[in-house]
């Protein structure tokens, strides 16, 4: 197990300990699933295999044990690799009465058959396909997450989890974030897909060979990756980079650790995949 520790000073009266867990990629399946979904589970389990099996269940148990002293567990997506009943039941049973906040990643809610990424006209189809696929699993993820934006308070620190698993933010999310940040309360904002920063783009391309981040300009639009940055997404990126209420931005998705400064000056932390028992402990300390 490898847990990074990050200490951040903020206008809080009491220390707050946040354990950030992301990209577990749990691949459980059972007889409730049809053959397509069982075959998909077997394939995806192999993708994350160590010594012949996906280590996600064991890693999850270890990380949850390490969370005993945390005030809040912060899950930022792809905890489930797909929305099987076996995956969701396991997550809910393991969490029990632990205090957590959860936002979805691009794998949590989707089977490839529900969300055909290879569509020839992605710019036209993306919102329709995404909303339809997410709607199929929205109820299944309750009470883990509302699916859009969740806010909780921990010892005077506001923690906001936002679903940007479509590589975009909505106008509703922008309005809610603007409202929450206007209060001046120290706030940690978390989501699955990291925001564009030049240093992050460079390392992402080295690792993935695709610009799989949120926001940015023409750099994140290629013939093989067509997630254009719309107006609402651009506004959220500016807001989170510049807001004086933001203590830090936290994300996952990339499977490696990274720290960078967003356009606007705020700091973004990316945590490596929990599938290999990685996590980050954020100590938010009084100034």
Q: Which domains does the chain have, with CATH numbers?
A: 2-286 (3.60.21.10)
Residues in CB range of 121: below 8 A, 6 or more apart:
none
Average pLDDT over residues 12-29: 97
Average pLDDT over residues 198-212: 93
Q: In what order do the strands lie in the sheet with 278-286?
A: 2-10, 278-286, 16-21, 72-76, 100-103
Q: pLDDT value at position 162?
A: 96
Phi, psi angle pair for 110, to nearest 5°: -125, 135
Q: pLDDT value at position 129?
A: 67
* pLDDT for residue 228 is more than 80: no
* pLDDT for residue 114 is more than 80: no
Which candidate, 205, 36, 229, places its Cα nearest to that of 123?
A: 229
**Residues facing residue 278 across a β-bridge:** 2
SS3 for 110?
A: coil
pLDDT band at 118 (very low <50, low <70, confident <90, very high): very low
d(CA 261, CA 283): 19
- Backbone Cα Rg of the chain: 18
Q: pLDDT value at position 223?
A: 63
d(CA 186, CA 199): 26
pLDDT in tens, 136-186: 777 778 788 877 899 999 999 999 999 999 888 999 999 999 999 999 999
- Give the angle subtended at the CA of 90 by the CAs of 88 and 93, to the nearest 5°: 105
**Residues facing residue 190 across a β-bridge:** 161, 250
> Poorest-confidence range of 95-99, 147-151, 239-243?
147-151
d(CA 31, CA 27): 14
Higher-pLDDT residue of 68 and 124 is: 68
pLDDT band at 131 (very low <50, low <70, confident <90, very high): confident
d(CA 283, CA 4): 11
Alpha helices for the chain (secondary structure H): 35-47, 56-66, 85-95, 122-137, 171-182, 198-208, 231-242
Q: pLDDT value at position 225?
A: 67
């Amino acid at each position: 197990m490898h847990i990074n520790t990050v200490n951040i000073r903020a206008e809080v009266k009491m220390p707050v300990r946040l354990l950030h867990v992301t990209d577990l990629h749990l691949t459980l399946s059972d007889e409730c699933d049809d053959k397509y979904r069982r075959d998909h589970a077997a394939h995806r389990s192999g993708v994350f295999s160590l010594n012949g099996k996906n280590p996600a269940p064991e890693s999850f148990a270890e990380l949850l044990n390490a969370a005993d002293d945390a005030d809040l567990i912060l899950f930022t997506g792809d905890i489930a690799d797909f929305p099987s009943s076996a995956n969701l039941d396991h997550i809910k049973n393991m969490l029990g009465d632990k205090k957590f906040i959860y936002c979805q990643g691009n794998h949590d809610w989707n089977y490839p058959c529900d969300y055909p990424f290879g569509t020839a006209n992605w710019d036209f189809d993306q919102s329709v396909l995404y909303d339809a696929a997410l709607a199929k699993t929205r109820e299944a993820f309750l009470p883990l997450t509302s699916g859009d934006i969740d806010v909780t308070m921990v010892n005077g620190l506001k923690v906001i989890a936002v679903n940007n698993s479509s590589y975009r933010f909505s106008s509703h999310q922008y309005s809610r974030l603007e409202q929450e940040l206007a209060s001046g309360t120290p706030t940690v904002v978390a989501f699955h897909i990291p925001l564009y920063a030049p240093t992050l783009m460079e390392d992402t391309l080295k690792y993935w060979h695709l610009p799989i981040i949120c926001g940015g300009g023409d750099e994140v639009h290629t013939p093989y990756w067509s997630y254009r940055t719309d107006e609402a997404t651009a506004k959220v990126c500016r807001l989170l980079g510049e807001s004086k209420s933001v203590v830090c931005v936290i994300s996952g998705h990339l499977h490696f650790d990274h720290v960078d400064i967003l356009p606007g000056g705020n700091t973004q932390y990316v945590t490596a995949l929990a599938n290999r028992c990685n996590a980050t402990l954020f100590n938010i300390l009084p100034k």
